[in-house]
Amino acid sequence: MPYHIAAALSLILLHSMSVAAPRLFEVPLAAVTPALLAEAANHYVALGEMEAMKELGELARSSSPLARGFFDGNDIRIGWLCRILFEPGRGSPSSRPPGFGGLTNFPERNMRPDHWPLFPLARSGTSHFVLGHSYLIGGLPEFASQYLDYSRQHGTFRQRPLPVPTREQAIKDALALRASTEWQSLRWKDSGEGWSYTLSETGAWHAVLDQAIAIEEQPHAPATRRP
């Protein structure tokens, strides 16, 4: 076989093998569930830190917020995974969230970092929920690759896989989140000098609950109605 043909075939094969991204990267942002987040995190835990960083780095390099003027799904998904995969070291404070902008549906201004250490995710029971994925961008947004580097410098890569919640469990976890002191202390309407906001607690809650309801049912499981 001529060398250039063999080389071309090798490149095609390597490209097809280089990134086998989890299902989290195949669905719309609004269709992400706690189960998909857990499955994706477990995929990278199984790879180990070095290979996980390589694969996530390739996905991050395929995104360019400066060129697009906005973030695509990969940027945001990588930010979520960093919050799960990199845990604060012993005695270290929680790391900061990705600098992608401000969420349009959640009252970040009065959220205590110690109450929401995984923001823009929230962990309740065995489930991780997305609190929002629509950002208002002011100034220069952070690259996903930059946030990957930050997370690695300030956190410890997770060693143990996550439990993958069922629909029933995720609904229980969503209800517990809404009943929590952290959620109940949020102010959905507030103002100060030069600023004000009015947000919908009901809308934010249903967005969380819908993530649990959207988890695929186990075979023969009964249909679940919205609580």
Given a cut of 70, is residue 214 above it in pLDDT? yes
Would you place residue 140 in the very low, low, confident or very high pLDDT band (cuts 50, 70, 90)?
Answer: confident
Going 128 to 172 to 102 to 68, the CA torsion angle's sign is positive
Domains of the chain by residue range = 22-213
As a whole number, the mean pLDDT across the chain is: 84
Residue 195: band (very low, low, confident or very high) from pLDDT cuts 50, 70, 90: confident
Higher-scoring residue by pLDDT: 7, 168: 168
Alpha helix (H) ranges present in 48-105?
49-61, 65-68, 73-85
- The label of the residue with tokens 């973030």 reads 71
Condensed to tens digits (0 to 9), the pLDDT of residues 141-177 reads: 888 999 999 999 999 999 999 999 999 999 999 999 9
What is the rounded CA–CA span in Å between residue 130 and residue 76? Answer: 11
* Residue bearing tokens 């919640």: 165
pLDDT band at 14; cut points 50, 70, 90: very low
113: nearest Cα among 95, 140, 132, 129: 95
* Residue 180 φ/ψ, nearest 5 degrees: -70, 155
- Judged against a pLDDT cut of 90, whether residue 91 lies above it is answered with no
pLDDT in tens, 94-133: 689 999 888 999 999 889 989 999 999 999 999 999 999 8
Q: Residue 89 gets which letter from DSSP?
A: P
Residue 92 above 80 pLDDT?
A: no
Q: Do 131 and 119 contact (CB within 8 A), yes or no? A: yes
In angstroms, rounded to a whole number, what is the distance separating the alpha carbons of residues 205 and 174?
8
